[in-house]
Chain A
């Protein structure tokens, strides 16, 4: 499904050239549940942003579902983000002025789904993450765990084959974190490919594959048995 070959991401800081990713190669198969681990500053978020088409790598090739991402135009990337990849952030990134329902409907707006149909499709997804009675609340009226569940519902509403989560439980207490994790592993059982960045070994323990990063390089990639 995903094929990274020699991906690098460099930042110019004055005279210095910092590489956040220095030649990362890996492949991901349909239906995997992967934990991405590594010390702070090792390039985990950078990797996720590249995978999520939010950021363009400075070198290497990225193939997603047999299509070359690096060669795509801005509009094509927007389409991939909209339909193919769900992204869950550590800091939720909901639109504060809109209700949970409107937030979840938002990706459908950009895929051109008409108004009534959007609501019809958003409601079951909110039910799936257990928020049927919070649909008309704004993000500020929700707890952190609830906000993250809205964000997951938003990431799922277009039924993308890939879900990327960058420290989804990082801002949550352990109980909310566990709930989020249950939702993600349920999704994986339904066939969604998931990659989770985490510092938590308990989280990693629930994944079948663990990728370790250090200084922008893959230093470990093992399957749990």
Chain B
């Protein structure tokens, strides 16, 4: 008996009991759908974060005070005893680390910005002009903080679009004077609109010269130094150069950490890869439950069709023919369920981002292939026992079965 014939017989059996076959398939459908959907959400998060991190500017190096042995990850906690990073450190890098195109000192804090009777708590970033290039954030109207502003500790501020809108609405903000923690600052520019990046709103920020920032937060240290190299191949050498310069300045101690964007990327990639695998695994359990459903129905079906098995054997069906018939029936149930699940899963995964914009999804071919082969495997695994049970029936006992 050939495969096509057996397949037809199996299909006929499935179609003759549509309700039951449908419900059995539903278990597999939901399982496969869950696998595809959850994996696509995990993958989507990965793709999104990778894109955002890459968007931070190419070949970015982040120098933070304090030493951690962990590579990658975000900012390490700065211990109180370590020596701080200073504006002069940044200046030294700028002058002497010739592999770096930029070395941007950064102070970070929050402050209350007021214009007339309107006030807003916002993030304050103290920087130098090169910040624009390093972080891919550019001035929209007016001017960004200039080197002269930095040198003279000028009380000038550049507004993110959101801050500008909140305080000024449609009015022109350039040249206006705002209050920032009891000091008067003059607005010299407004940034381009950028939107949310990695969970924080880059439009809800204001920029001031780094030196003015140190005054504002009463500190002589930096939050971090952002550096960049023009070429990816130079990253390793640039790190060595930075270490060389800073260690000499820091009493021959390496009390700072240099993170590369590549290390951050791979850390995030690992974390999100594990997350995706966990999500997929949880969904896989529901697929397994669907498989048990198939086994259950197949056992019922074998019992119900005992007489049919007897008749088929009486007219010459071999054990392997009966085995194939029931096995193919189980695999067809799970296979068709798998295909339906894939269609629904991919459809939903493509629809979700249209309605829930914070949930980017990415349907990968491997998750489809995996879900499908897994559902087929479930059919084989849970089909073998009932099919074997059917095939080993004694013909005369099966014929007598009522």
A112 partner residues in chain B, CB cutoff 8 A: 1-2
Partner of B319, one of A49, A74, A94: A74
Q: Is the CB of A154 within 8 A of B395?
A: no
Asked if A55 lies at the interface with its beta carbon under 8 angstroms from chain B, I say: yes
Asked if A205 lies at the interface with its beta carbon under 8 angstroms from chain B, I say: no
Nearest chain A residue, comparing its CB with the CB of B321: A110
Q: Is the CB of B395 within 8 A of A82?
A: no
Expressed in whole angstroms, the Cα–Cα distance for A109 and B6 within the complex equals: 9
Interface residues of A in 71-90 (CB under 8 A from B): 74-75, 78-79, 81-83, 87, 89
B317 partner residues in chain A, CB cutoff 8 A: 78, 82, 110
Q: Is the CB of B318 within 8 A of A75?
A: yes
Expressed in whole angstroms, the Cα–Cα distance for A153 and B263 within the complex equals: 77
Q: Is the CB of B12 within 8 A of A93?
A: no
Asked if A95 lies at the interface with its beta carbon under 8 angstroms from chain B, I say: yes
Asked if B313 lies at the interface with its beta carbon under 8 angstroms from chain A, I say: yes
B269 partner residues in chain A, CB cutoff 8 A: none
Q: Is the CB of B399 within 8 A of A95?
A: no
Nearest chain A residue, comparing its CB with the CB of B397: A55
- Tell me whether A106 and B315 are in contact in the complex, defined as CB-CB below 8 angstroms, given that A54-B395, A54-B396, A54-B399 are known contacts: yes
Measured CB to CB, the closest approach of chain A to B143, in angstroms, equals 83
B396 partner residues in chain A, CB cutoff 8 A: 49, 54-55
Q: Is the CB of B1 within 8 A of A93?
A: no
Asked if A111 lies at the interface with its beta carbon under 8 angstroms from chain B, I say: yes
B12 partner residues in chain A, CB cutoff 8 A: 97
Most buried by A among B310, B314, B316, B395: B316
Partner of B314, one of A54, A75, A97, A109: A54
Q: Mark A48-77, 1 if CB is under 8 A from B, else 0.
A: 010010110000000000000000001100
Expressed in whole angstroms, the Cα–Cα distance for A82 and B321 within the complex equals: 13
B172 partner residues in chain A, CB cutoff 8 A: none
A81 partner residues in chain B, CB cutoff 8 A: 313-316
Interface residues of B in 352-375 (CB under 8 A from A): none
Q: Is the CB of B318 within 8 A of A110?
A: yes
Asked if B94 lies at the interface with its beta carbon under 8 angstroms from chain A, I say: no
Q: Is the CB of A78 within 8 A of B308?
A: no
Interface residues of B in 294-330 (CB under 8 A from A): 307-308, 310-321
Measured CB to CB, the closest approach of chain A to B380, in angstroms, equals 23
Majority-rule SS of B interface residues: helix
Nearest chain A residue, comparing its CB with the CB of B308: A95
Q: Is the CB of A78 within 8 A of B5?
A: no
Asked if B16 lies at the interface with its beta carbon under 8 angstroms from chain A, I say: yes
Most buried by B among A79, A95, A110: A110
Expressed in whole angstroms, the Cα–Cα distance for A135 and B396 within the complex equals: 28
Most buried by A among B5, B16, B311: B311
Measured CB to CB, the closest approach of chain A to B169, in angstroms, equals 76
Expressed in whole angstroms, the Cα–Cα distance for A79 and B1 within the complex equals: 12
Asked if A43 lies at the interface with its beta carbon under 8 angstroms from chain B, I say: no
Asked if A216 lies at the interface with its beta carbon under 8 angstroms from chain B, I say: no
Expressed in whole angstroms, the Cα–Cα distance for A83 and B321 within the complex equals: 16
Q: Is the CB of B16 within 8 A of A97?
A: yes
Q: Mark A90-106, 1 if CB is under 8 A from B, else 0.
A: 00011101000000001
- Tell me whether A107 and B315 are in contact in the complex, defined as CB-CB below 8 angstroms, given that A49-B396, A54-B396, A97-B12 are known contacts: yes
Measured CB to CB, the closest approach of chain B to A18, in angstroms, equals 16
Nearest chain B residue, comparing its CB with the CB of A53: B395
Q: Is the CB of B319 within 8 A of A110?
A: no
Partner of A107, one of B307, B316, B318: B316
A49 partner residues in chain B, CB cutoff 8 A: 396
B315 partner residues in chain A, CB cutoff 8 A: 81-82, 87, 106-107, 110, 154
Measured CB to CB, the closest approach of chain B to A57, in angstroms, equals 12
B1 partner residues in chain A, CB cutoff 8 A: 109-110, 112
Expressed in whole angstroms, the Cα–Cα distance for A177 and B316 within the complex equals: 27
A75 partner residues in chain B, CB cutoff 8 A: 318-320
Nearest chain B residue, comparing its CB with the CB of A82: B316
Would you give 16 A-B contacts (Cβ < 8 Å), ordered by A? A54-B395, A55-B395, A74-B319, A75-B318, A78-B313, A78-B321, A87-B315, A93-B310, A93-B311, A95-B308, A95-B311, A109-B1, A109-B5, A110-B316, A115-B5, A158-B316
Q: A93-B307, A110-B315 are in contact. List 14 more A-B contacts (CB 8 A).
A: A49-B396, A52-B314, A74-B318, A78-B313, A78-B317, A97-B16, A106-B312, A107-B316, A110-B1, A110-B312, A112-B1, A115-B5, A154-B315, A158-B316
Across the A-B interface, give the 10 residue pairs with the lowest CB-CB distance, nearest first: A82-B316, A110-B316, A78-B318, A107-B315, A55-B396, A54-B396, A54-B395, A81-B316, A75-B318, A93-B311
A residues bordering B, Cβ < 8 Å?
49, 52, 54-55, 74-75, 78-79, 81-83, 87, 89, 93-95, 97, 106-107, 109-112, 115, 154, 158
